[in-house]
């Protein structure tokens, strides 16, 4: 079991309160000396903050080890990711809002506002385009201190964590839906 597996398998409802921050963590793996600046969302239990801190520390170790980065590269990676963090969080927020609105319209069935659905689909496509632009910009900056192989491995780590967090989010939604509700229907 990898450190990511161990930490994610311990994720509970408490830990899910800061899933968004965990996503930022994968794109902002800071060395251990920077990790202590990070705080869980207000109201998150102490256990959740401790788990998040442990998660960030382990993630930084995994990134450093898998990519064979030196301390200078880790510091540069932290700075690059700090620059992209705000835009990434705005994209996540915009995407979440658009998907929630689209889900509500789709669930409305025949009474769905077709013009609104079309607009939301267009909005999601624009968000995907913005995400791609952001990723390209990030990759350009990473290329100034990482080899192409290191960048590819880092991209893989980011992708792996995004998938795992999405699975956690989906499992949480299924638990909230409860028995007897159709949770298998893949809605946006």
187 in a structural domain:
no
Please answer whether residues 29 and 154 qualify as being in contact, where contact means their C-beta atoms are separated by less than 8 angstroms.
no
| Domains identified in the chain, total number | 1
pLDDT at 130 over 80: yes
* 29: alpha, beta or left? (left if phi > 0; alpha if psi -120 to 50): beta
182 in a structural domain:
no
68 in a structural domain:
yes
pLDDT at 45 over 50: yes
Q: Which domain holds residue 158?
A: 3-177
102 in a structural domain:
yes
At 3, list the tokens: 């450190």
pLDDT at 180: 56
35 in a structural domain:
yes
At 146, list the tokens: 């990482």
pTM over 0.85: no
């Amino acid at each position: 079991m990898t450190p990511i597996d161990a930490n994610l398998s311990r994720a509970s409802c408490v830990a899910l309160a800061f899933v968004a921050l965990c996503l930022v963590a994968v794109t902002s793996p800071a060395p251990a000396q920077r990790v202590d600046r990070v705080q869980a969302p207000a109201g998150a239990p102490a256990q959740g903050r401790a788990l998040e801190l442990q998660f960030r520390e382990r993630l930084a170790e995994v990134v450093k080890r898998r990519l064979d980065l030196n301390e200078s590269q880790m510091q540069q990676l932290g700075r690059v990711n700090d620059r992209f963090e705000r835009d990434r969080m705005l994209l996540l927020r915009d995407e979440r809002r658009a998907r929630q609105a689209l889900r509500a319209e789709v669930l409305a069935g025949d009474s769905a506002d077709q013009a609104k659905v079309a607009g939301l689909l267009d909005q999601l496509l624009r968000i995907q385009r913005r995400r791609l632009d952001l990723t390209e910009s990030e990759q350009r900056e990473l290329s100034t201190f990482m080899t192409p192989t290191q960048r590819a491995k880092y991209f893989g780590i980011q992708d792996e964590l995004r998938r795992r967090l999405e699975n956690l989010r989906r499992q949480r939604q299924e638990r909230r839906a409860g028995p007897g509700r159709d949770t298998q229907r893949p809605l946006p």
